[in-house]
Structure 1
Amino acid sequence: MTSKITIVGAGNVGAACAQRIAERGYADIVLVDIVNGLPQGKALDILQSAPLLNFDSHLIGTNSYDETANSDVVIITSGLGRKPGMTRDDLLLANMKIITGVIHNV
């Protein structure tokens, strides 16, 4: 049985994680993000590189947590970057809200 890895956050870090996991064939991958079209586009980009990089992983991009059911591993890369004038405490509180929301959905 193939393992399933969910990556929450389809930004640069999440997409890079998905790419590397796909290249190595570790598991089926679900890439999730709240931005409509972003995880789907990133998944398509990764899959289009498969013939050149010689991998055959199963990868989907979605805006729904329904696809994450029965994941063996969940990697959370979502969060805000620090903005000018933002303290580390402010950043921690903002990202804590995001992570809490993710945890309740996975």
Structure 2
Amino acid sequence: MRRRITVVGAGNVGATCAQELARRDYADVVLVDIKENLPQGKALDINQAAPVLGYEPSVVGSNG
């Protein structure tokens, strides 16, 4: 089973941490924030940047 890391806060710092964790393939990343649709949007951005940066996307967003 693959490890999963949760990043609390989907602002600039949290999203950057999530992207680096995904890029370095440490684990699947769950991005969590209380603001509606913010973590889902950031996760989508990170996943869409993955082919350009050369890694497999593994980030999801959640509100709770």
2:41 and 2:63 mapped to 1: Cα distance?
Answer: 11
Pairing 1:34–2:52 present: no
Deviations 1:46-91 (A, max 9, x none): 0000111111142100102xxxxxxxxxxxxxxxxxxxxxxxxxxx
Structure 2: state its 5+ residue gaps: none
1:58 and 1:52 mapped to 2: Cα distance?
Answer: 14
Which residue pairs with 2:62 in the alignment? 62
Larger Cα-atom Rg: 1
- TM-score, reference length from structure 1: 0.58
Pairing 1:7–2:10 present: no
RMSD: 0.8
Structure 1: state its 5+ residue gaps: 65-106
How far the C-alpha of 1:2 sits from its partner, in A, is 1.0
Q: Which structure has more RCO (C-alpha within 8 Å, separation ≥ 6)?
A: 2
- TM-score, reference length from structure 2: 0.94
Does the 8 Å CA contact 1:31/1:39 hold for their aligned counterparts?
yes
Does the 8 Å CA contact 1:36/1:63 hold for their aligned counterparts?
yes
Runs of 4+ deviating beyond 4 Å: none
Which residue pairs with 1:69 in the alignment? none
Identity rate, percent: 61
How many residue pairs match? The answer is 64
2:57 and 2:24 mapped to 1: Cα distance?
Answer: 8
The structure richer in strand per residue is 2
